[in-house]
Amino acid sequence: MLRIAISLPDATALRWRVQEMRRRAKDLREAFWRSETPVRNAILSWFSSEGRGGWVGLARKTIMARANRWGYYRQGFREGPVHRILHARHRLLRSLTEPGPGHVSGFTARSWTLGSNIRYAAIHHRGGAIGMSRNPLPPRPLIPRDDTLSKIVADQIKRYVMWPWRQRRA
pLDDT for the residue 83: 63
Q: How far is CA 134 from CA 64, 120, 168, in A?
A: 19, 17, 65
Provide the H-helix boundaries in 27-138: 29-48, 60-68, 91-97, 121-126
pLDDT for the residue 7: 65
What percent of the chain has a predicted confidence (pLDDT) above 70?
88
Nearest-angstrom CA–CA distance, 36 and 97: 9
pLDDT in tens, 96-140: 999 999 999 999 999 999 999 998 899 999 998 877 777 888 999
Nearest-angstrom CA–CA distance, 22 and 40: 28
Specify the 3-state DSSP secondary structure of 10. Answer: coil
- pLDDT band, very low/low/confident/very high, at 94 (cuts 50, 70, 90): very high
Select the more confidently predicted residue: 70 or 27.
Answer: 27
The residue type found at 169 is: R
pLDDT for the residue 18: 86
Nearest-angstrom CA–CA distance, 61 and 75: 17
Length of the chain equals 170
What percent of the chain has a predicted confidence (pLDDT) above 90?
47
Overall pTM surpassing 0.75 (yes/no): yes
Q: E strands of 35-164, at which residues?
A: 103-107, 112-116
